Amino acid sequence: MTPISFEFYPPKSDEQRAQLDRTAARLKAHGPEYVSCTFGAGGSTLSYTGDTVRGLIDAHGLDAAPHLSCVGGTRDEIAALLQTYRDAGCRRIVALRGDLPSGMGQPGEFRHAADLVAFIRAAHGDHFHIEVACYPETHPQAEDALTDLRHFKTKVDAGANGAITQYFYNADAYFRFVDDARAAGVEVPIVPGIMPISNFTQLRRFSEACGAEIPRWVAKRMVAYGDDAESVRKLGTDVVAGLCRRLVDGGAPGLHFYTLNLARPTIAVLDQLG
Ligand code: FAD
């Protein structure tokens, strides 16, 4: 069976915390290999990520991996966070550069995710399984696709065990990216990041920011459905389940779902996949 993992974001209110608890309980029934929890840009959810990860481990018995983005942080801050995560029982980290919101300070002592990966390895040896991010449709700030691929390889060479992709809806972009990465000497598993579709307006905003392409025919239909949430959900589930099936049939080593703390869209896809 293809291993699956689920990504959550750190809740900030009691209502959001209750929602994540319900979602984690429902998704746990689907047997994830691990779950992960995002890290706010510029350190804004620094403590929320740690608290959320501890809750996922202690209250839900899940293997939970904090995301750690290094761009605004100092070596001392990152070292302290890593120790906290180690003390909490974490064995897995998603290591990122992150993005500083415009106008919010300068990059700190780490410039690229590769620097963070090297720092974690130097400080903790093989204690942590390290996942990094990669971009089948190219990172939006990259000079070009090949330069981006070279930077991805540098990150893996610094000590990453695996990679999770930015979400995409074009399976060919993933397969070509994996082929290119293998040709460049990257051997670690490259797990597709999957974004279920439930709110198209929100998805379109995210996609513009992160450079993920929504196929024109999907966008056109979604716009035509407007407020018809049932039709949006149905097409979204069909499109994403079809993508997952192609990826798994084509050899993807796992599926990592961006849940946005909602159980239903991810479960609808898993149910359709059987
Ligand atoms: P890097 O690998 O450092 O790459 C960033 C850019 O710099 C790329 O364009 C790359 O080509 C370039 N680059 C890399 N090395 C060099 C070099 N040596 N010289 C010149 N250029 C270089 N963001 C959050 O804030 N919190 C999260 O929790 C979070 N989780 C994510 C999880 C996944 C799976 C993914 C795919 C993304 C996530 N992001 C998150 C978004 C991520 O932080 C942004 O995409 C960010 O812009 C890049 O992070 P990175 O780790 O890929 O950076």
- Is the predicted ipTM greater than 0.95, yes or no? yes
Task: Report the atom number in ligand 1 closest to the C-alpha of 167.
Answer: 36
Q: What is the pLDDT, as a whole number, of residue 72? A: 85
Answer for the pair 10, 40: CB distance below 8 angstroms, yes or no: yes
* Domain positions in the chain: 4-273
Tokens at residue 20, please?
A: 């994540």
pLDDT in tens, 220-256: 999 999 999 999 999 999 999 999 999 999 999 999 9
| CA gap 209, 204 in Å, rounded | 9
3-state helix/strand/coil string of 152-206: HHHHHHCCCCEEEECCCCCHHHHHHHHHHHHHCCCCCCEECEECCCCCHHHHHHH
Q: What is the pLDDT, as a whole number, of residue 46? A: 58
Q: What does the pLDDT average to over 32-49?
A: 80
pLDDT in tens, 136-170: 999 999 999 999 999 999 999 999 999 999 999 99
Tokens at residue 152, please?
A: 């991805």
Residue 188 near ligand 1, beta carbon < 6 Å: no
For residue 14, give the H/E element and its range: helix 14-28
pLDDT in tens, 190-200: 999 999 999 99
Q: What is the pLDDT, as a whole number, of residue 210? A: 94
Taking the centre of ligand 1 as the mean of its atom positions, its distance from the CA of residue 274, in whole angstroms, is 33
| CA gap 149, 177 in Å, rounded | 8
Residue 95 near ligand 1, beta carbon < 6 Å: no
Residue with CA closest to ligand 1 atom 17: 151
Mean pLDDT across the chain: 95
**If one looks up domain 4-273 in CATH, what number appears?**
3.20.20.220
For the chain, what is the largest distance between any 2 Cα atoms, rounded to a whole number of angstroms?
53
pLDDT in tens, 65-118: 999 999 888 999 999 999 999 999 999 999 999 987 776 666 679 999 999 999
Tokens at residue 198, please?
A: 């439930």
Residue 190 near ligand 1, beta carbon < 6 Å: no
Task: Report the atom number in ligand 1 closest to the C-alpha of 96.
Answer: 51
